[in-house]
Amino acid sequence: MFTKGGSYLNIQFYLDKIVALFKEELKENLVGIYLHGSLATGCFNPKESDIDFFVVIKEKLTTKNNKRIAKMALSLHDEMPIERGIEFSVILETHLKPFIYPTPVEFHYSDYHQEKYQGDENYLCGGFVDDDFASQMVVAYYRGIPLYGKPLRDVYKPIDRQFYISSILHDVKDSSQNIIDNPMYLTLNLCRVLFFLKEGVISSKKEGGEWGIKTLSHEYQRLVQTCLDEYTGEANKTEYDNKQLLNYADYMLSEINQLI
C-alpha cells in the first residue's frame, strides 16, 4: 500500500486495471502482460520507481490502437499513486520466437514521453529497435510476474547470455559522461552489471547496491550506500562529489571490461 495526497491506494488495483484495459483494447491480439523491474523484484519505492511491464501481441498495432493505448497510458499515469507512473513497451511475439536483439518495439510509453503524447495525438514512440529490452526480458523471465498470459518460461526459450550482457552494457557504457547528471541510477546499475559478470546473479538496483557495499573497495562503499539510501527512500536527494563519481565510473568500467 502506498499513499498519495494522504490516501492509501493499492498498487494491485492498478495492475488489475492495466490488464483489464489491454484486454479490452487488444482482445484476441493480446498474448501476455509481464511485470519486471523493482515491483517484480521486491524493491519498489513509490518516490523513485515506476511500474515496469511489457505487452506481447500477435499482430501489429493499428493506428487506432496506438492512439487509444496512448490515451489509456496518460489516464493511468495521472491516476497512479506513484510519482513516475508507468513504463511499458509493446512487442510482437514473432520477435521473441526466436528472440531478436536489438528488439523491435511497436509502442513505448514512459514519463519521459508523457508530455509528447499529451501534446500530439499522433505522436508515437515506436518502430525502433531497443538494446535495453533484452535485459527487461531476462528479468521478467527469471524474476518477473505474469499479469496476463502464460509464464514466459512456459512459452519462450531463455535469452542468450550474450544478448543480456550486451543489453546491460549498453545501459552503462557512457557512465563516465553521464554519471554526474544521473548519479544514483548509474552508481547502482554499475553494481548490477559487475555483480552479474562476477557471480551470474540477475539483480535489482537495490540488490546490486547491497552487493557493491559488501564487495567493492572501501573508497566507494560509502558512495554506493548513499545512492542506495536515496533509492530506497531512507534519505533525501544528495549532493555528490563529482570527482568521486567520475573516479567510481572509471573504476567500475575498468572492472567490467576485464570480464567481457
- The per-residue pLDDT for 260 is 92
CA dist., res. 191 & res. 95, Å (int): 30
Instruction: Name which residue leads in pLDDT, 248 or 5.
Output: 248
- 138 pLDDT band (50/70/90 cuts)? very high
- Residue 28: Cβ within 10 Å count: 8
CA atoms of 229 and 58, how far apart (whole Å): 42
Tell the burial category of 29 from Cβ atoms under 10 Å away from its Cβ (0-12, 13-18, 19+): middle
The span from the CA of 218 to the CA of 193, in Å, is 19
Residue-wise pLDDT tens digits, 146-189: 999 999 999 999 999 999 999 999 999 999 999 999 999 999 99
- Work out the pLDDT band at 5, boundaries 50, 70, 90: very low
Quote the pLDDT of residue 56.
99
- pLDDT tens digit sequence for 26-53: 999 999 999 999 999 988 887 778 999 9
pLDDT value of residue 204: 95
The pLDDT value given to residue 46: 79
Contacts of 125 (CB under 8 A, 6+ apart): 107, 108, 109, 113, 116
For residue 128, the model assigns a pLDDT of 98
All three cell numbers of 167: 543489453
pLDDT in tens, 83-117: 788 999 999 999 999 999 999 999 999 999 999 99
Residue 248 exposure: Cα atoms within 13 Å on the Cβ side: 31
pLDDT for the residue 80:
86
The residues, any chain, with a CB within 8 Å of residue 117's CB and separated by 6 or more, are 70, 73, 74, 109, 123
pLDDT for residue 149: 98
Q: When comparing pLDDT for 82 and 151, which is higher?
A: 151
pTM of this prediction exceeds 0.85: yes
Tens of pLDDT, residues 223-259: 999 999 999 888 777 789 999 999 999 999 999 999 9
